[in-house]
Amino acid sequence: MHRLLWLVLAIPVLCHPADISLQTTRHGGSFEVEAVAEFEAEVTLAWEVLTDYGRLSEFIPGMHSSRIVSRSDRRVIVDQSGEARLLFLSFPIQVRLEVEEFPYERVVSRAIEGNFKEFRGAYTLEVRGRRLLLHYTGSLTPDFSIPPLIGTILVRKTVEKRFGAMVDEIMRRQRLRELPVVTPSSGGG
């Protein structure tokens, strides 16, 4: 039974049924990123994952901590720390985000403190029948030096890993939600 459960949970991850595309461009010391994925998931579940700020570090690579500092109405202040890595290089990331939530449609964030001169990002959700389109756009200007030859690769790989992990977590929770509930049979004798 355990092997069957593992197989049911592992096969979709191995097949990666999400269609993901990613684009990164550099403008001097700034970067623009765009990532898009389309996959089967409920919009409410995707929203739960996107706004699970206190647990993001559990499934986002390179994120060491993520915690809610305050919340009021649709605005949330979130502190995050971690690193972006490429080969043997590591770049620290410290940011306090002001996040504005538009339930089941959009999450918009901007850095208000940290080691970015500018950091803006937005996730949007679009329902397409049984499928969901998750779209991320971001603009960032680090307040630390990234060598020109590796900067675009570093940003691309970091966004690819983190966006992919977000999609994987949404899909993982969707699969868990779809599993049949197994109850012990009552053994009358």
Q: 156 and 24 in contact (C-beta within 8 Å)?
A: yes
DSSP 8-state secondary structure symbol assigned to residue 58:
G
What average pLDDT values come out for the chain (189 residues) when binned by 10 residues?
A: 39 55 92 96 96 96 96 96 84 94 97 94 95 96 82 89 96 86 59
pLDDT of residue 6: 37
Q: State residue 91's pLDDT score.
A: 84
pLDDT at 165: 96
**H helix or E strand, kind and range, residue 153:** helix 148-178
pLDDT of residue 1: 45
Q: Outline where DSSP puts E strands in the chain.
A: 19-27, 30-40, 63-72, 75-86, 89-102, 106-114, 116-128, 131-142
Q: Residue 88: its pLDDT value, please?
A: 80
pLDDT (0 to 100) of residue 171: 94
SS3 of residue 144 by DSSP: coil
pLDDT number for residue 112: 97
pTM for this predicted structure: 0.83
